[in-house]
Amino acid sequence: MAVFRKRLLPASETFIASQVRHLENWRAVLAGYTYDRSGAHLLDGLDTCCLSESGCCSLLQQIYLRVFGKIPPAWLKKVRAYQPQLVHAHFGWSAAPALALADALDVPLLTTFHGSDITIQSSNAQYGRARRRLFERKSPVLAVSAFVQKKLIAGGADESSVRVHYIGLDTSLFTPAVHKTDHPPRVVFVGRLNEQKGCQDLLRAAIELSQKYPDWQYHIVGDGPSRQALEEQAAPLADRCTFYGLLPPEEVRKVVQEADVSCVPSRVMDTGAEEALSLACAEASASGLPVVAYDCGGIGEVIQDQRTGLLAKKNDSKDLTRCLDDMLSDVHLRMTFGQQGRQRMEEYFNIQTQCKTLEALYDELVRS
């Protein structure tokens, strides 16, 4: 099988590499245009076949593919050597080249939509045409959440062609801490530091609650265009707020494990950007943390309000502050929600189980 992604692989797309690694009965080659150095570690030990390595100018070959809709012969020969029986493309943005690759190989195409590829109104006419062609052919599509499934159907996908498939996560890696070190209680945020991820709303709540909860600390993992502004906003918290920047996955897991509450204040943007599912919520729950988040996009499919976390009204920072207040004030609530969240991740989001379901779909597509 060829797993297609234009760039192999951005550092944030751990979920694609993890899915490939957990396949038991299918061998995958990751096929794409170019390598993304930020996620080079994600490809360790995996088969790859990049257009940029096929002997000619990568940019010219991409133009050839874009203009003529044909796979460059040299690259096609290399991909074909792996004898793929199907193409699994990630992100709807890959629709045009993925369709061309599947047609050239004469194999079925399966496309996973991850959220922004259907929720945001794109001005790219070529992408619009490719997506329509994908939908018109009733090519099978996976949605990473029921929220994304609804958006796909509203966007023209045939209802019978779209299935919900939670990619899941490795619940043997994301686990509750056996023994936490002795430190003040912590709230953790993991995500890109931009307006949509909403860290500014967490800091606003933290400052408002700082006198009521003087011992609580706030640990911010991630980087992005808003970092300087957020650090300035956090100044009233002084040394109670720590910005880590980007961390390797194993270090992120340690920071999450050592926390007591996770906050995922992702917002709905005017562009249509909205959290498709929230891997950050899933990783926190698998680590035994209760979660405070906005009830937007697919977050409610991961976090059950009043059972594994507290969900605030979307984009309502006052309600987010109220939910955080309720969570920080009640240690029993935190423990109960954390335990129930871990159970939910094991039952519905375990990547081993999810990959078995995915492989059954691969088998079905090849047989048909």
92 closest CA partner among 30, 134, 35, 47:
134
Q: Is the pLDDT of residue 68 over 80?
A: no
Within 8 A by CB and 6+ apart from 33, the residues are 6, 7, 50, 51, 52, 58, 62, 97
pLDDT for 124: 77
Q: What is d(CA 29, CA 320) in angstroms, rounded to the nearest whole number?
A: 43
pLDDT for 58: 61
Residue boundaries of the structural domains of the chain:
2-168+350-367, 186-348
pLDDT for 215: 96
pLDDT for 119: 87
Which residue did the predictor score with more confidence, 54 or 313?
A: 313
Q: Is the pLDDT of residue 11 over 80?
A: yes
Write the burial class of residue 159 (CB in 10 Å: 0-12 exposed, 13-18 middle, 19+ buried).
Answer: exposed
Residue 173, both tokens = 């890696």
- Using 50, 70 and 90 to split pLDDT, how confident is the model at 238? very high
Residue 306, both tokens = 């009043």
Task: Tell me the mean pLDDT in the region 134-147.
Answer: 95
Q: Is the pLDDT of residue 185 over 70?
A: yes
Which residue did the predictor score with more confidence, 151 or 249?
A: 151
pLDDT for 182: 81
Would you say the C-alpha torsion 5, 7, 9, 11 has a positive or negative sign?
negative
Q: Is the pLDDT of residue 99 over 70?
A: yes
Q: What is d(CA 71, CA 66) in angstroms, rounded to the nearest whole number?
A: 9
| pLDDT over 90, % of the chain | 83
Within 8 A by CB and 6+ apart from 228, the residues are none
pTM of this structure: 0.92
Which residue did the predictor score with more confidence, 73 or 86?
A: 86
Task: Tell me the mean pLDDT in the region 209-231.
Answer: 97
Q: Is the pLDDT of residue 180 over 60?
A: yes
- Using 50, 70 and 90 to split pLDDT, how confident is the model at 357? very high
The domain defined by 2-168+350-367 folds into Rossmann fold (3.40.50)
Do 2-168+350-367 and 186-348 fold alike per CATH?
Answer: yes
- Using 50, 70 and 90 to split pLDDT, how confident is the model at 242? very high
pLDDT for 327: 98
Q: Is the pLDDT of residue 40 over 60?
A: yes
Q: How far is CA 121 from the centre of its chain?
A: 19
pLDDT for 85: 98
Q: What is d(CA 289, CA 284) in angstroms, rounded to the nearest whole number?
A: 5
Strand pairing class (34-35; 309-312):
unpaired
Task: Tell me the mean pLDDT in the region 230-254.
Answer: 95
- Using 50, 70 and 90 to split pLDDT, how confident is the model at 57? low
pLDDT for 79: 96
Q: What is d(CA 368, CA 363) in angstroms, rounded to the nearest whole number?
A: 9
| Residue 59 C-beta-side C-alpha neighbours within 13 Å | 0
Q: What is d(CA 113, CA 258) in angstroms, rounded to the nearest whole number?
A: 33
Q: How far is CA 7 from the centre of its chain?
A: 16
Which residue did the predictor score with more confidence, 149 or 129?
A: 149
Least confident interval from 2-16, 64-78, 233-247, 331-345: 64-78
Q: Looking at the structure, give the CATH architecture of the domain made up of residues 186-348.
A: 3-Layer(aba) Sandwich (3.40)
203 closest CA partner among 191, 186, 220:
220
Q: Which helix (H) or strand (E) holds 26?
A: none
- Using 50, 70 and 90 to split pLDDT, how confident is the model at 123? confident
152 closest CA partner among 134, 168, 170, 174:
134
Please check whether residue 120 is in contact with residue 131, taking contact to mean a CB–CB distance below 8 angstroms: no
- Using 50, 70 and 90 to split pLDDT, how confident is the model at 30? very high
Tens digits of per-residue pLDDT, 283-307?
999 999 999 999 999 999 999 999 9
- Using 50, 70 and 90 to split pLDDT, how confident is the model at 55? low
Please check whether residue 11 is in contact with residue 39, taking contact to mean a CB–CB distance below 8 angstroms: yes
Region of 189 on the Ramachandran plot (φ > 0 left; ψ -120 to 50 alpha; else beta): beta
